[in-house]
Chain A
Amino acid sequence: MNVTRRPTVLLTGGSGFLGSLAAASLLAGEECDLLLPVRSHHGQDQLLWHIGFGLKTLGLELTPALRERIRFGPPLEAERLKELEAALEGAPLAEVVHCAGCLDYFDKATLEAVNVGLTERLVDLALRRKVDRFTYLSTAYSCGYLEGTAPEGPHPDPAADPTDYTRTKRAAERLVAGSGLRFQVLRPSIVVGTIEGQYTGKRYGLYQLWNGMERLLCKKWLPVLHVVAPQRKVSLLHQDAFQRAFMAVRRDLPEAPYVHLTSRYETAPTMRQIWDLWNQACARPREVVYYDKVDDVPLLELDSRQRAFLSLAWANLQISSRHWHFATGHLEALRQRGLQLDDVTLASTELCQRRFIEGSEVVQRFIQLYHRAA
């Protein structure tokens, strides 16, 4: 029986990467109980491990006292929403922190169902339960393709979207903002490992790129490598910096409706530098042919593995070919108040890459075979 007077926060997407980090941050920084919808007992164990990892990053342990503040609820399926509401009986619901989302660029139906449909249902639940606040974890890229700097404010419809992912995230932001609830939209950029290079997410973002290189470019040594590597900054954020920023924004800027969470633009590596890091550490081709856009690559002249790599990474390469700049006034204000955030730099990216390479048998085998031969 819950005898505490702590408010309850319903946190969705807790079994996801950023959701589990958000859960750890809430436990570490706020006096609240968490209700986490999950699919299975196995899912609960995994989730607790990830929350524990997030706490460790903040210098804490998942103690029995903290564990007691976590409750698991039924999964967020439309037909089980009543069960979820029943789980909320007797516990005042203070807030919804909505981190669940679909990231599959090409599954339009699921993007609509999860990013828009689920958000709609949760906003409805929040209104009925009269919550104090609704926090939505969006993405810095919800602005779509726009000229100049993306503001920390609502986004109008852009000229185009890179994928349906960004469009549906923007649609969800609008649902939250238009609900009449007190809200906060947090927009992280691409999250990479901690400042120590430890990463606990799925292979998205930079890890998707490295994963593609591992699977497709580490079978045999390629003397000439064709890479789409514009000299454009890539907006990244360390996962521990995400947690610290998340906590600080909630503590010190609770009324800021839209906040971008990303490293300083000046320190960020460019796509060209990210490729050069890989080529130095692993691929070591005799010649690298750089392109600014995927459209510039003479695809028919490439061997099938390079073709496959470029094709599979098509959407992300197109995104990286564009200029992205996000306003970070809120984070700057927090830094001025003393928030210590490790920016992503070329050196910290190199450390993340080194950890990836160390953990990959395929890359290690490639290095042993081909570096020695070279």
Chain B
Amino acid sequence: MSVNPTDAAEAQAVNAPAGSYRQEGRSDKYYNLISYIVSNAVAGEYIATDNYSEEVHLFPTLDEKSYLLHQAEEENRHAKTLMALCHRLKIPVVGRPVEPQWLAVRNTFAEAVAKKDVAACIIVQDVMIETMAVVLYRTLSGMEEADTDPETRRVAGAILKDELEHLDWGRNWIREHLQRDEAAVNASLTWAHHQVMPQMFGLIRNGCDFLCGDLGVECGSFGVEEIKTDLDSIRMLALDHYIESLDRSGFHPKVTSPLIATMSSYEGMPAALVGVKTGAAPA
């Protein structure tokens, strides 16, 4: 039996004493942020495990079923790997989805399964969730100018490789099916986009609904500036990757551009004071 080098490194790392992987000079706020981000990542992997498992019966061939079961296992392993990372870093982690956005995405997927809308299932899980996972792991692995500790970078980098494969599989499936029934796949995209993307972008924020309470950290006391980035940069990165995923899936810009236009309202319209002395207005 061949041993996945990532698994071997992981097994070694899991056995290491807790706390020894913490990087010197990193603040508690930094580790609270990592705890918060990684818990969200675990939630995503948990949801993905459920999604892949749930859709197996919709696929007719044994090869496809086998592939999807393998995906589910892989996502499950990612969740455990991330929880082990938190153990090593001696930070709390929540091992299930608690944020309403994740639960809404999971419900959307279940709805697509109930409708037997296979294209929507693939779009939700393999294009949308995987795209956001890629953005998350690229950020955590330090590929996007974010400043994270070596252990988090290593784990995120390893998971990223798997997620890119999942994304590729989904995009290929969509491209092939767009050629067979373009109108139906476009309709699935439109439905999935309006259901899922507001939720996914709603997760790019400082603060939470429930997660911080479950983690035992003070909500709002830390933010992404701890890894030397900002929410807007992450949102723009997510938008870039989403557009790229849609393009590479073969969707025509005439279909996707009006959908992307709706994303301008996801975060609300920020107030602006232009040409007015700062500090002159209440926050």
Contacts and interface: CB of A to CB of B under 8 A. Distances in A.
Interface of A: 42, 45-46, 49-50, 53, 103-107, 193-194, 196-204, 207-208, 211, 215-216, 219, 294-295, 299-300, 304-305, 307-308, 310-315, 352, 355-356, 358-359
B274 A352 contact: yes
A193 B274 contact: yes
A170 B271 CA distance: 26
B257 A294 contact: yes
A294 B265 CA distance: 20
B6 interface: no
- Give the residue among B261, B276, B280 with the most A Cβ atoms within 10 A: B261
Interface of B: 232, 236, 239-240, 243-244, 247, 253-254, 256-258, 260-265, 269-276, 280-282
A198 B232 CA distance: 24
Which 10 pairs of residues, A with B, have the shortest CB-CB distance? A355-B275, A314-B261, A311-B260, A299-B253, A199-B274, A198-B275, A106-B262, A311-B257, A202-B269, A304-B240
Nearest to A310: B257
Contacts of A104: 265, 269
7 contacts: A106-B264, A200-B276, A208-B264, A295-B254, A312-B260, A312-B263, A314-B260
Secondary structure at the B interface, as helix, strand, loop or mixed, is helix
Contacts of B232: 215
Contact of A314 (B239, B257, B276): B257
B272 A199 contact: yes
A193 B265 contact: no
Nearest to B271: A202
A107 B265 contact: yes
A140 B232 CA distance: 32
Contacts of A356: 274-275
A352 B244 CA distance: 34
Contacts of B269: 103-104, 202-204, 208
A122 B273 CA distance: 31
B275 A311 contact: no
B276 A198 contact: yes
B167 to A, nearest CB: 16
A315 B258 CA distance: 8
A105 B269 CA distance: 12
B274 A315 contact: no
Contacts of B281: 46, 49-50, 53, 200
Contacts of B253: 299-300, 307, 311
A107 B266 CA distance: 10
B276 A53 contact: yes
Contacts of B257: 294, 299, 307, 310-311, 314
Contacts of B240: 304-305, 308
A202 B272 contact: yes
A359 B260 contact: no
A352 to B, nearest CB: 7
A49 B276 CA distance: 12
A204 B268 CA distance: 11
A46 B239 CA distance: 32
Contact of B261 (A194, A216, A311): A311
Contacts of A308: 236, 239-240, 243, 260
B57 to A, nearest CB: 34
A46 B256 CA distance: 38
Given A200-B274, A219-B236, 15 more contacts: A49-B282, A106-B265, A194-B275, A202-B269, A215-B236, A295-B254, A299-B254, A300-B247, A300-B253, A308-B236, A311-B253, A311-B256, A311-B258, A314-B258, A359-B275
A349 to B, nearest CB: 13
Nearest to B260: A311
Given A49-B281, A299-B253, A308-B240, A358 B258 contact: no
Contacts of B274: 193, 197-200, 207, 352, 355-356, 359
A307 B282 contact: no
B265 A45 contact: no
Contacts of A310: 257
Contacts of B243: 304, 307-308, 311
